[in-house]
Amino acid sequence: MSTDHRRVRTRPFMFAASLLAVFLVLVAPGAVLADTEPEAMSPTERIVAELRESPVHIDPSFSSALPEERAGALAERITDSRIPLRLLAVPLIEGGDWSGDADHMVAAVHDRIGGRAHYLVTDGRSVTGHDFGTESAPEEQRAFYSALAVSYELGYDAPAAEKVERSVEIALSDDPYGTYEELVETRQKGPLDWMYSLGPGGYSALVILPWALAVMALVGLGVGVYRWRRPRAVPTVPQHAAFDNANLARREELARKAGRELIEFGERIGAARPHSDDPGATEALRRALDAHAAARSVHDRLPDEGALVDVAGVLVLLDMAEDHMARATRPAQKRKTSPLRSHCYANPLHGTDTKVTKWREFGGLNDIRVPLCAVCAKAVRDRTRPTVLAARYRGREVPYYEVPKEESVWAATGFGTLSDDLVERVLRGDHSRQR
């Protein structure tokens, strides 16, 4: 009998346990999903979900500036107007959601909602307007022109809530664009706004003229001080040769020398053989042949008189050929002790006993580092012009390096001191085309 009594009392307990298990299986997962589902939504999706219920979305961080009562009144006013206007108060932080850009946020939200709509967005500092699915006419851009009108009417320092409420009021009015135009026309002018009536030219002249006069006065003062304190100018005359003014006889002498060296070097290089089977020696001999061919190309086109710069070019190319041939006929371990010589940049006829020197532009601030002979280096240090090689350009004699590089391979390469492709330029015909 006692056994039957215990069995009867356990049945209600087992029934209650079964009901609890059914509740946990059916109800509890739904509650968990309900709790986790909002957290899984993206910021854009949360905004879209709220806009489906109300045309106003206020981020919790704006609850003090736009409390629930004011937000509710704005939502009711927008709903009663039947105008598809939506208000978003969202903090936009650079590097955060939507990259801190209101355009990106509104585009993402409207992409999920679609249709014709106007959006007013505030980040707590300013109000911007965005219109979708409307005509391009200004009268249809309700949000855009209402935001602009508020910036004219209230400025940028007004409270956020005041700017938002005024923006909504203008956007729901009959003619937001007209309101904007009226505010622009009636904007209170400042004490200096009369200058704008002079037109762009008159206004610019009135603003710039005092500064222009002040600059001219300073420049005049500087020129006067410079002329008073400048060192006495060194007289310069056309330079035609290595040291002093060269005449035609000097040019012809150098031309004859170049012709003799061309022939002599041609005979020597014809008999030269690269050292053993060294690829470096073979390459050096090829470069010597190329330099000799370039020198012959320039020499064959020498005019009967003048063109001392071309004669100098022939001699420089022959020196290059000599250096390469010397390297080709030496063992590899001694080839590094035969560096290629650099001619004087100011005047290659001064020779190859040079040293890299900083040369500041005469009367200027620009400077370059180029090889110079001892005489030219001293002139540069003394801030005087060295005896440079001259070239004839547009009817007058000028330093060869002042000829535009497009018109002279000698100026473009500094006779090989600025770049190492002088031989290649001559062989491909640059010098012939320039002449």
Choose the most confident range, by mean pLDDT, from 22-36, 280-294, 324-338, 361-375.
Answer: 280-294
The stretch 326-336 carries a mean pLDDT of: 72
What share of the chain has pLDDT > 70, as a percent? 77
* Whether residue 160 sits in one domain with residue 45: yes
In the predicted structure, residue 145 carries a pLDDT above the cut 70:
yes
Asked whether residue 109 is domain-assigned, the answer is yes
Q: What's 164's domain CATH number?
A: 3.10.310.50
In this structure, are 296 and 353 located in the same domain? yes
Domain, as residue range, for 325: 248-434
- How many domains does one find in the chain? 4
**Span 75-88, average pLDDT:** 91
User: Does residue 76 fall inside a structural domain?
Assistant: yes
Evaluate whether residue 237 is within a structural domain: no
Q: Is the residue at 255 inside a domain?
A: yes
More confident residue, 273 or 435: 273
On whether both 273 and 421 belong to a single domain, the answer is yes
> Same domain for 382 and 360?
yes
Same domain? For 12 and 60 the reply is no
Are 347 and 306 within 8 A, CB to CB? no
Residues 52 and 80 in one domain: yes
Is residue 297 domain-shared with residue 389, that is, in the same domain? yes
Question: Residues 220-248: pLDDT tens digits?
Answer: 888 888 776 654 443 333 343 343 444 46
Mean pLDDT of 4-13: 43
- Confidence bin at 319 (pLDDT 50/70/90): very high
| Whether residue 162 sits in one domain with residue 65 | yes
Judge if 410 and 280 occupy the same domain: yes
Task: Please answer whether residues 389 and 408 qualify as being in contact, where contact means their C-beta atoms are separated by less than 8 angstroms.
Answer: no
Residue 407 vs residue 243, higher pLDDT: 407
Task: Specify if 93 maps to a domain.
Answer: yes
Do 258 and 140 fall into the same domain? no
pLDDT value, residue 236: 38
Q: State the average pLDDT for the chain.
A: 79
The answer to whether residue 89 scores a pLDDT higher than 80 is yes
Q: What pLDDT does 200 receive?
A: 53
- Please determine, for residue 179, whether its predicted confidence score (pLDDT) is greater than 50: yes
Min mean pLDDT across 73-77, 186-190, 300-304, 376-380 is at 186-190
Is residue 10 domain-shared with residue 130, that is, in the same domain? no
Are 146 and 266 members of one domain? no
Confidence of residue 187 (pLDDT cuts 50, 70, 90): low
Is it the case that residue 6 has pLDDT exceeding 50? no
Lowest mean pLDDT across 18-32, 178-192, 305-319: 18-32
- Reported confidence tier of residue 253, pLDDT bands at 50, 70, 90: confident
Does any domain span residue 192? Answer: no
Q: For the segment 15-41, what is each residue's pLDDT rounded down to a tens digit?
A: 555 555 544 444 444 444 444 444 578
